[in-house]
Structure 1
Amino acid sequence: MKKSILISISTLVIETVITLLISWKLSIRFIELMFFIGIACSFFIFWFTSKGGAVSQYIDSQNSALTGIVQERDPLRFRIGPAFKASLLFLLIGLIFFILLVTNIIPPVK
């Protein structure tokens, strides 16, 4: 249990630091970027924690063509771990802020 909490907190810290650095570099408010960074991080975590997807099948096909050994193909499997859950939490918080920005509840910077 402690390991999953540590992974979740470190994921949130890493995404926050990435968002802070990009917002500082582009001179954009932090809350304006949270949603988009959350989408990107969730996608990358999904990409690297899943197995048996299109890329895996492509690599297996190339290896089979080169070696002549046919490998068993795995269906797409994704493990929803603490890093993905934390990234989804960051994405949802960013979505709430994005909706508040779009509806002018949070005013634009003057």
Structure 2
Amino acid sequence: MPRKHILIIIIAWIVEISLTYWVAKMFSVRFIEVMFFTGVAFTLGTFYFSSSGGAMSRFYTSQVSAQTGIIHERERFKVKLGPVFIASLLFFLIGLVFFILLVTGIIPPQKV
């Protein structure tokens, strides 16, 4: 993996950790309690914005074709799994492990 990709992964992790920490502070919960949910949001958001084509693209193409009368060629669905998606997926998987440990009681609940 090129150094550029590793740097992008590290920057993406820093951003995801910072946003997750901010969400945890806003809701007054532990970082690992929201890590899974923010990981899901980051992963799905990155997947959505790094892919092209798909249902939304077909919908907008159909709308434009209906309004203009010009039939446009439809774009095939493509996913570009770049370093930001990999970082989000790893963050999600780490959050999943912590979430399972929390639910099973291996990590005890927070003392008030």
| Smaller-chain TM-score bracket | over 0.9
Cα deviation, residue 10, structure 1: 1.2
Q: Give the Cα–Cα distance (whole angstroms) in 2 for the partners of residues 73 and 7 of structure 1.
A: 32
Q: TM-score scaled by structure 1?
A: 0.95
The question of 1:48 aligning with 2:49 is answered yes
The question of 1:6 aligning with 2:19 is answered no
Structure 2: tracts of 5 or more residues without a match = none
Q: Give the residue type in structure 1 aligned to 2:35.
A: M
State the Cα deviation string for residues 64-103 of structure 1 (Å, max 9, x = none): 1122221111221111111111101000100111111111
1:4-83 correspondence runs (5 A): 4-83=5-84
After superposing on structure 2, the runs of 4+ consecutive aligned residues of structure 1 that deviate more than 4 Å are none
Q: Give the Cα–Cα distance (whole angstroms) in 2 for the partners of residues 105 and 80 of structure 1.
A: 33
Q: Give the residue type in structure 1 aligned to 2:16.
A: E
For 2:92, the equivalent position in structure 1 comes to 91
Q: Give the residue type in structure 2 aligned to 1:22.
A: V
Q: Give the Cα–Cα distance (whole angstroms) in 2 for the partners of residues 62 and 6 of structure 1.
A: 40
What is the aligned-residue identity percentage?
A: 52
Q: Give the Cα–Cα distance (whole angstroms) in 2 for the partners of residues 52 and 68 of structure 1.
A: 21
Q: Give the residue type in structure 1 aligned to 2:46.
A: I
Q: Give the Cα–Cα distance (whole angstroms) in 1 for the partners of residues 67 and 24 of structure 2.
A: 46
| Number of residue pairs aligned between Structure 1 and Structure 2 | 110
Structure 1: tracts of 5 or more residues without a match = none
Q: TM-score scaled by structure 2?
A: 0.93
